[in-house]
Amino acid sequence: MEDKPDIPEESGELYEHFRFVVDRGQNPLRIDRYLMAKIENASRNRIQNSAHAGNILVNDLIVKPNHKVKPLDIITIVLAYPPRDTEVYPENLPISIVYEDRDIIVINKAPGMVVHPGHGNFTGTLQNALLYHLQQSNPGDAEAKPFLVHRIDKDTSGIMLIAKNELAQSRIAKQFFDHTIDRTYIALVWGNIDHDEGTIDANIGRDIRNRLVQAVYDDPEKGRHAVTHYHVLERFGYVTLVECRLETGRTHQIRIHFKHIGHTLFNDESYGGSEILKGTTFTKYKQFVNNCFTLLPRQALHAKSLGFIHPTTKQFVHFDSDYPPDLAAAIEKWRQYGKGREE
């Protein structure tokens, strides 16, 4: 019996989760060898790192790689996703490093930068830049490379965490799986949200009509569980500034969740937010909104902060970021517009 793994293309979190029930006729066998036979393309080293990180459970107890499986054991494993087959070349590109030690790098990603190569973006990505940085800071180490644990959209800015070795990657992946990562995002959305705070609990999956975007599905077989908590920071009349806390991390989660409740992100072209969705028909207002679009030529979404247990020190660490200039400028413009309306 095997559960489907988490599919990276459907999630911003890069791990796989498997569950097995051992056959009645199974002879005693080391669990690392058992899982190698069960999981396609899973190396022994990758499975052992998962075990050392505490990511393999047998009957709800953490086990070591040499644990012997028995008939009817229930095995669960969280595997950090392996590097993509796409070859990555180092590139000297500017990146903003917030923190770095021997196990992790925390960066403040600029809007417009793709996280990893693929889908026509084979150069100029964050992974290209990180590979260059690691090779420069670890000369002679051919194994120095970044291990992704999550990702954010190309046109979303903000805090991202990257592991520098497989053990750190495995330990962080388990935190994403357990939903213990503390993540906050700032979004500017169309409309005046009714309540000061709330929770959006709606399954998300690929839109069958357009594979480039996500959709909300009532049928759990068509979507994956996704939960976003939010509270209002400021109201500007026709748009609202909100802080979002992610319980899960699906692709485009905040973007499709807010569209689902009728508050599409400001200037989110993929979900219709680059049209004037709220407000008046006055020419001056239309010009004002278009000026805001020019200031912020992307969806109004920023990964503000990230908190987690450090994979080595086991201490809770938290990283925060300022609003990027384009988002800050658009917010201030709306703030001044809102004050003008009140006067």
pLDDT tens-digit profile of 252-276?
A: 999 999 999 999 999 999 999 999 9
Q: Do 259 and 301 touch, CB atoms closer than 8 A?
A: no
Q: pLDDT of 215-227, one tens digit each? A: 999 887 788 899 9
> What per-residue string of b and e applies to 41-51 under the rule 16 or more CB within 10 Å gives b?
ebeeebbbbbb
What number is the average pLDDT over the span 267-294? Answer: 95
Nearest to 33 by CA among 9, 53, 16, 56: 56
Helix (H, G, I), strand (E, B) or coil at 159: strand
Strands 61-62, 68-69: pairing is unpaired
CA distances from 173 to 5, 70, 134, 319 (A): 13, 27, 21, 18
pTM over 0.85: yes
Strands (E), 285-326: 301-309, 316-320
What number is the average pLDDT over the span 86-113? Answer: 93
What number is the average pLDDT over the span 63-92? Answer: 87
What number is the average pLDDT over the span 4-18? Answer: 60
- The pLDDT, as a whole number, for residue 1 is 36
Nearest to 147 by CA among 93, 100, 55, 84: 84
What number is the average pLDDT over the span 226-232? Answer: 96
Compute the radius of gyration of the chain from its Cα atoms.
22
- The pLDDT, as a whole number, for residue 223 is 86
9 secondary structure, DSSP code: G
What number is the average pLDDT over the span 11-29? Answer: 86
Per-range mean pLDDT, top range of 71-85, 131-145, 178-192, 215-229: 178-192
CA dist., res. 163 & res. 82, Å (int): 12
- The pLDDT, as a whole number, for residue 7 is 38
Q: pLDDT of 103-127, one tens digit each? A: 999 999 999 999 887 766 778 899 9
Helix (H, G, I), strand (E, B) or coil at 8: helix
CA 185 to centroid of chain Cα atoms: 11
Between these two residues, 46 and 316, which has the higher pLDDT value? 316
Classify residue 38 as exposed, middle or buried by CB count within 10 Å of its CB (0-12, 13-18, 19+): middle
Mean pLDDT, the chain, rounded, equals 90
- The pLDDT, as a whole number, for residue 15 is 86
CA dist., res. 308 & res. 178, Å (int): 11
- The pLDDT, as a whole number, for residue 9 is 44
Q: Is 153 a catalytic residue?
A: yes
**pLDDT of residue 32 exceeding 60:** yes
CA dist., res. 97 & res. 136, Å (int): 14
Ramachandran area for residue 16 (φ above 0: left; ψ -120 to 50: alpha; else beta)? beta
When pLDDT is cut at 50, 70 and 90, the band that residue 60 belongs to is: very high
Catalytic residue among 6, 32, 73, 153: 153
Helix (H, G, I), strand (E, B) or coil at 89: coil
**pLDDT of residue 236 exceeding 70:** yes
**pLDDT of residue 102 exceeding 50:** yes
CA dist., res. 283 & res. 264, Å (int): 22
Strands 29-30, 68-69: pairing is antiparallel
Which domains does the chain show, CATH number per domain?
Answer: 8-80 (3.10.290.10), 97-177 (3.30.2350.10), 182-342 (3.30.2350.10)
Pairs from 37-41 (Cβ < 8 Å, separation ≥ 24):
38/2, 39/77, 39/79, 41/82
**pLDDT of residue 213 exceeding 50:** yes
What number is the average pLDDT over the span 280-296? Answer: 95
Nearest to 51 by CA among 177, 174, 181: 174
What one-letter code names the amino acid at 80? A
